[in-house]
Amino acid sequence: MVDGIRDFQRKHLLSVDGIVGRDTANKIKGVFCDCNVLFASHFLGQLAHETGSFKYDYELITQDTANRNYGDRMGNNLPGEGFKFRGRGAIMLTGKNNYTAFSKSMNDPEILDRPNVVAEKYYFECAKWFFDTNNLWRYCTKLSDDNIRQLTRRINGGYNGLQDRIDKTKYYHNLLS
């Protein structure tokens, strides 16, 4: 179970069960999504997919695979940085460029020295930052497969897990409506 969810629940005086159910989803809607049901539905649907239904707070990938997939990309230019800057947090923030920009925005240099801080301290905040920085909220104004597809492309770089993202977005929309 992900500590970021339980930490969020404790901070907001919710039942600390580690589950993003109705109460937690509604609080996330208020804290990160301007109390907008569509924004929250897209936000939670994408994050649920990225984290395996909120089971993981970091990318489950081997060091060799991470270095092969992410090396010499996204600002990872030194040996081992593909693995060091693999996906973490609710959005699976990936790449030295994103970690550097997020570290500056949070005024927390520890993020670059110890990237696990993203999952441990900024689980949902990194996702909100990623949506804000990449102007992703503009794809969250309708509950359509096309909007989810466009949002997925900008988060994932492709359409991996598209049907699951559609299903999860619609699930959260029903839960929050």
| Arithmetic mean of pLDDT over the chain | 96
Nearest Cα neighbor of 48 from 70, 25, 30 is 25
**DSSP designation for 108:** -
Q: What is the mean pLDDT of residues 111-119?
A: 97
Residue-wise pLDDT tens digits, 15-58: 999 999 999 999 999 999 999 999 999 999 999 999 999 999 99
Query: Is CATH 3.30.20 what the domain over 63-121 is classified as, yes or no?
Result: yes
H or E element that contains 65? helix 63-70
For the cut 60, the answer to whether the pLDDT of residue 1 exceeds it is no
For the cut 90, the answer to whether the pLDDT of residue 172 exceeds it is yes
User: What pLDDT shows up at residue 169?
Assistant: 98
Residue 160: pLDDT band (50, 70, 90) is very high
What letters, b where the CB count within 10 A reaches 16 and e where it falls short, cover 57-83? bbbebeeeebbeebbeebbbeeeebbb
User: What pLDDT shows up at residue 2?
Assistant: 75
For residues 71 and 123, what is the distance between their CA atoms, to the nearest angstrom? 24
For residues 155 and 133, what is the distance between their CA atoms, to the nearest angstrom? 12
Residues of the chain with pLDDT > 90, as a percent, come to 99
H or E element that contains 4? helix 3-11
Domain boundaries, the chain: 3-57+141-176, 63-121
Residue 152: pLDDT band (50, 70, 90) is very high
Half-sphere exposure of 130 (CA within 13 A, CB side): 27
User: Strand runs (DSSP E) across the chain, as ranges?
Assistant: none
